[in-house]
């Protein structure tokens, strides 16, 4: 689990902490809102909860601690990965490149 990227839903407390920070000049991040899903890296796994390094849009980041799995603000969920579908090949094209 440590090192995995998950999606974290920002809580009202998180939003107050993040948006309450003074902005750098130029601004170092975008404003956030409650319930917004943002990527986060799991930094500690306590079994029933995890600590997260939350990645924000811009240069800023945020640490969320003791987060449980779920779909409510203040909780994290696993990322859903979609299958990659290869585009059809045109007839007559080689299937792999060979060095000249």
What do you get for the CA distance between the two ends of the chain, in Å? 44
> Which of 16, 5, 1, 4 has the alpha carbon at shortest distance from 74?
16
- CA–CA separation, 14 and 75 (whole Å): 11
Q: Model-level pTM?
A: 0.76
Inter-residue contact 7 to 71 (CB < 8 Å): no
What was the pLDDT predicted at 41? 97
Name the residue among 45, 43, 72, 66 with its Cα closest to residue 55.
43
Write the pLDDT tens digit of every residue in 20-49: 887 766 677 788 999 999 999 999 999 999
Q: State pLDDT tens for residues 62-86.
A: 999 999 999 999 999 998 877 666 6
Cis (ω within 30 of 0) for the bond into 26? yes
């Amino acid at each position: 689990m440590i090192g995995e990227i998950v999606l974290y839903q920002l809580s009202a407390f998180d939003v107050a902490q993040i948006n309450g920070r003074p902005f750098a000049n130029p601004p170092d991040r975008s404003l956030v809102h409650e319930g917004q899903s943002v990527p986060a890296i799991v930094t500690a796994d306590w079994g029933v909860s995890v600590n997260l390094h939350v990645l924000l849009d811009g240069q800023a980041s945020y640490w969320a601690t003791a987060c449980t799995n779920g779909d409510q603000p203040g909780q994290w969920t696993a990322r859903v990965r979609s299958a990659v579908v290869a585009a059809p090949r045109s007839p007559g094209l080689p299937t792999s490149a060979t060095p000249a």
